[in-house]
Structure 1
């Protein structure tokens, strides 16, 4: 039984790290978008950040699957992570198409959703761990 609680704790920790990485990557994108407007170096930074943000979104999906299956958690984070990966895909397409009127608001929405997932996921993780008897 202690092994199950440890596995669940590890998978939830990995999930929280993945969401935190995604949130920080999106924040980096907001910063580099500002640099993009004022410097020629901004395009390179924003492009590199887009790759990191997309990879972080894929890592979030993987972490959600691992928290669900081996960890015995809820499958709900998989839905959130998959939806976020879909939004990230749309965001990339809009960025490549140079549609800032849609790209920027979607980026703001994605940042808000990612912060919300980080806050709610942390609360759920601490509740789940306290229910399993771990402090």
Structure 2
């Protein structure tokens, strides 16, 4: 059994507990805005996790990225320059995303650039929040 399955994260346990509470709750609780937003967020993360598993080791769709200072580049400009390319989708408002940054920094600093490149793709719609998170958290790799 993989470590992540043997020792689920606190977030995973909390998410599961919230689903249990939600399914047992009355309609008044389910109609509250914050509850609906939480369920939408959890469902979105479940769908992303399913897609993540399907994409590992697969070819990528070459799309145009806008960098933190406004420069535009295609993913293909990064892929292939290193042995491995990690594409990390994140957002400034995503706690688990921000919590992963120290691990990404450690990974990034442990290898030469010819071994690994990290491309961070923020799904933020607020450029100020995105840039602030990059600066504050010292995000590794390309953004």
TM-score w.r.t. the length of structure 1 is: 0.30
TM-score w.r.t. the length of structure 2 is: 0.29
Higher helix share: 1
Higher strand share: 2
Q: Which structure's relative contact order is higher, taking Cα pairs within 8 Å and 6+ residues apart?
A: 1
